[in-house]
Amino acid sequence: MTYLPHTDADREAMLAAIGVEDAADLFEAIPEAVRFPALDLPGALAELETMTELQHLSKANISADDFAWFLGAGVYNHYIPSVVNHILLRGEFYTAYTPYQPEVSQGTLQAVFEYQTMIAALTGMEVSNASHYDGATSLAEAVVTALQVAKHKRRKVILSPGVHPQYREVVRTYMQGADLDITGDKDPTHTLDDLTARLDEQTALLVVQSPNFFGQIEDINGLADKAHAAGALLCVVADPIALGLFKPPGAYGADIVVGEGQPLGIPMSFGGPYLGFFATRKAYVRHIAGRLVGETVDVEGRRGYVLTLATREQHIRRERASSNICTNQGLMALAATVYLATMGKRGLRQVAELCYHKSHHAAQQIAALDGYSVDRSKPFFKEFVVKCPKPAAEINRYLVEEWGIVGGYDLGALDPARADEMLLCVTEVNTHEEIAALVVALSEVAS
Q: Tell me the pLDDT tens digit for each residue of 345-376.
A: 999 999 999 999 999 999 999 999 999 999 99
Q: Where are the beta strands (DSSP E) in 150-287?
A: 156-159, 181-183, 203-209, 233-237, 256-260, 276-280
Q: Does 341 have pLDDT greater than 90?
A: yes
CA distance 284 to 126: 10
Q: Which of 224, 213, 204 is nearest to 163 (CA)?
A: 213
Give the pLDDT score at 270. Answer: 86
CA distance 424 to 422: 6
Give the pLDDT score at 232. Answer: 98
What CATH number does the domain located at 68-79+344-446 have?
3.90.1150.10
CA distance 205 to 428: 34
Give whole-number Cα distances, 441 to 66, 402, 411, 423, in Å: 17, 9, 20, 16
Cis amide prior to 31 (ω within 30 degrees): no
CA 322 to chain centre: 21
Sketch the domain layout of the chain as residue ranges.
Answer: 68-79+344-446, 82-340
Give the pLDDT score at 10. Answer: 84
Give whole-number Cα distances, 27 to 24, 39, 194, in Å: 6, 15, 55
Q: Does 203 have pLDDT greater than 80?
A: yes
Q: Which of 315, 291, 343 is nearest to 108 (CA)?
A: 291
CA distance 348 to 341: 10
At residue 418 the predicted structure's pLDDT band, cuts being 50, 70 and 90, is very high
CA distance 108 to 293: 10
CA distance 146 to 144: 6
Residue 17 corresponds to which amino acid? Answer: A
Q: Does 70 have pLDDT greater than 50?
A: yes
pLDDT above 90 covers what percent of the chain?
71
- The phi and psi torsions of 5 (rounded to 5 degrees) equal -70, 135
Give the pLDDT score at 271. Answer: 87
251 vs 9: which has the higher pLDDT? 251
* Mean model confidence pLDDT for the chain: 91
Q: Report angle CA 202, 309, 285 to the nearest 5 degrees.
A: 30
- The phi and psi torsions of 441 (rounded to 5 degrees) equal -65, -40
Query: Do residues 199 and 227 touch, judged by C-beta distance below 8 A?
Result: yes
Q: Kindly list the strands in the beta sheet with 409-410, ordered across the sheet, starting from the edge strand earlier in the chain.
A: 373-374, 383-387, 421-425, 409-410
Q: Tell me the pLDDT tens digit for each residue of 143-198.
A: 999 999 999 899 999 999 999 999 999 999 999 988 999 998 667 777 899 999 99
Q: Which of these ranges, 157-161, 317-321, 388-392, 435-439, has the smallest mean pLDDT?
A: 317-321
Confirm whether 68-79+344-446 and 82-340 share one CATH topology. Answer: no
Q: Tell me the pLDDT tens digit for each residue of 78-109.
A: 999 999 999 988 877 766 566 767 777 888 88
* CATH ID of 82-340, from 3.30.310.80, 3.30.70.870, 3.40.640.10, 3.40.50.620: 3.40.640.10
Q: Tell me the pLDDT tens digit for each residue of 16-69.
A: 898 888 888 888 888 887 777 666 778 899 999 999 999 999 888 888 989 999
Q: Tell me the pLDDT tens digit for each residue of 102-140.
A: 777 888 889 999 999 999 999 999 999 988 999 999 999
pLDDT mean over 216-236? 97
